[in-house]
Amino acid sequence: MITLLTLAVALASPAEERFLATEVIQVLRVPGPLAPALDVVGLERAPATRVPLAPQRTVRLHDRDANEALDVLGTPRTLEVRALVDDKDLAIVLEWRDEAEDRGSATETDRFGDAAAVQLPFAFGAGLRLPYVGMGDEGAPVALHLQRAVEHGSMARSLVAAGFGSSTRSVTGAVRGAMRYDAATHRWRALLVLPLVTAERDLRAGLVPIAFAQWDGAGRERGGNKALSSWKVLRMPGAAVDARYLAELSWGYDGAGDVLRGKQLVDTVCAACHRAGDKRNAPVGLAPPLDDMGLMATPAYLRESIVAPSAVAVPGKGWSMRAADGARSSVMPPFAALPAADVDAIVAYLRTLGVPAATSKAERSSP
């Protein structure tokens, strides 16, 4: 596996090299069959990748205590991710530190269980943009596979979503799994086992996009109140990498933009609507704060948000309008005329927001 990655890196552009080093989760092939049991055979050989998550702040619950807790319990969090595959299934193992074991209750409606989820697009590959990381969008739905701790064990759910606050429909039988809390180390382990092929999607590709979410029951987190990662990519063993898709996914990872110039531009051009970094004069609610963009957004998403904001309109009151033909348009003006170097500079600056100094470098660990 190391050799494969080295080989790919030898041929890669600087952006691809950086992307492969920081955004890719290597999946380990095992003979299988993968059973939905927490002690997955071969797990200790699967490389662990640490994925940072930031609290989702654009769409909030109508629950002040929960919203205040999300600000306090805050940012960032880390999931340790390992993945294995056999002929039929993909197993994702998520581990994270949580001081308290919280389990949802069927009888007490104000007790919320700790939970974690993965999100996968239905369609991906060269020429297709990634769905909005907050549960997809109207043009690009996602499948959300979730494990939540309940009174006696855990509950698995699979949903199809097309944006925060959109109605979700359940799909049954698409995920199996389990959860276990280790009181000695204060760590959760959650396992999700997904079929590689369903009627709606096929994961047998070299690069498969995936994003992660995590809920802390102690902070009354549920629904949209959660922590979210940016899109990462599973490197599936034995499947070829599409060079065009790799080039698209790695756009901007070379960090070519001038961060200082980017900050100047954001502070002058964008700060009327957005709060970002130390520039906080925009009225609350006019536009989403850009404070966690470095943890939640890919460079390509940021570029698109600047030059073509209506491609994906972040859901929020007054942030977009629906035209007669049904298309949604953002109230943000497109900055399509900005010189490419300025767009690169803004993207490079936004990529620093929310990223703590210690995790700004690639954080990878091998077992």
State the residues that interact with ligand HEC by CB under 6 A.
58, 266, 269-270, 272-274, 287-288, 290, 293, 297, 302, 305-306, 309, 313-314, 316, 319-320, 330-332, 335, 346
Nearest CA to 137 out of 171, 169, 160, 115 is that of 160
CA dist 154 and 192 (Å) reads: 11
Amino acid at site 242? D
Half-sphere exposure of 3 (CA within 13 A, CB side): 0
Alpha-carbon distance values, 70 to 63, 75, 315 (Å): 11, 9, 19
Min dist. Cβ of residue 305 to ligand HEC (A): 4
In this structure, is the dihedral angle defined by the CA atoms of residues 130, 136, 140 and 145, taken in order, positive or negative?
Answer: positive
For residues 104 and 121, which CB has a smaller minimum distance to ligand HEC in the complex?
121
CA dist 17 and 6 (Å) reads: 10
From the number of C-beta atoms within 10 Å of its C-beta (0-12, 13-18, 19+), residue 287 rates as: buried
For residues 155 and 335, which CB has a smaller minimum distance to ligand HEC in the complex?
335
Min dist. Cβ of residue 149 to ligand HEC (A): 29
Q: Taking a C-beta distance cutoff of 8 angstroms, is the pair 161, 132 a contact?
A: no
Min dist. Cβ of residue 288 to ligand HEC (A): 4
Min dist. Cβ of residue 318 to ligand HEC (A): 7
Half-sphere exposure of 329 (CA within 13 A, CB side): 6
Cβ contacts of 6 within 8 Å, gap of 6 or more: none
**Which residue shows structure tokens 């767009």?**
343
Min dist. Cβ of residue 245 to ligand HEC (A): 22
For residues 115 and 287, which CB has a smaller minimum distance to ligand HEC in the complex?
287
CA dist 63 and 71 (Å) reads: 13
Min dist. Cβ of residue 302 to ligand HEC (A): 5
For residues 73 and 273, which CB has a smaller minimum distance to ligand HEC in the complex?
273
For residues 104 and 257, which CB has a smaller minimum distance to ligand HEC in the complex?
257
Preceding peptide of 55 cis, ω within 30°: no
Alpha-carbon distance values, 321 to 76, 161, 248, 312, 330 (Å): 32, 20, 29, 12, 6
For residues 189 and 303, which CB has a smaller minimum distance to ligand HEC in the complex?
303
CA dist 147 and 93 (Å) reads: 11
Min dist. Cβ of residue 168 to ligand HEC (A): 20
For residues 126 and 327, which CB has a smaller minimum distance to ligand HEC in the complex?
327
Min dist. Cβ of residue 307 to ligand HEC (A): 9
For residues 156 and 302, which CB has a smaller minimum distance to ligand HEC in the complex?
302
For residues 250 and 330, which CB has a smaller minimum distance to ligand HEC in the complex?
330
Min dist. Cβ of residue 357 to ligand HEC (A): 22
